[in-house]
Amino acid sequence: MKAAKMKLGISYIDTKSPLHTLNGITKFALFMAWVTVVLTTFDLRLIITVLVSGLVLLRLTGVPFKVYQPLLLGTSTVLTINALFMFLLAPQ
């Protein structure tokens, strides 16, 4: 009897996009710069710009949307719940 495996997470899909041609150290350095900018600023305009540019870059990779849809859905759910509780529990 074979057990069915649950497929969790996303797997690597190699498309010949400009992001896929970068080496791993460059990708890591760009990611760390990205995270540093987002975590050190409270300017919503900059954060929205970074978010939109990230979604555009994700679209340019050519990876099908259904592959990373669960990841985006889970992330947006956690962020929404976090914002809701911060609003409800924040001292006024």
Write out pLDDT tens, residues 28-61.
999 999 999 988 987 889 989 998 999 899 899 8
pLDDT digits (tens, 9 = 90+) for 22-34: 999 999 999 999 9
Over the Cα atoms of the chain, what is R_g? 17
User: Measured between alpha carbons, how far is 17 from 21 in angstroms, rounded to an integer?
Assistant: 7
Say what the pTM is: 0.68
Q: By the 8 A CB rule, do 67 and 10 touch?
A: yes
pLDDT for 5 beyond 80: no
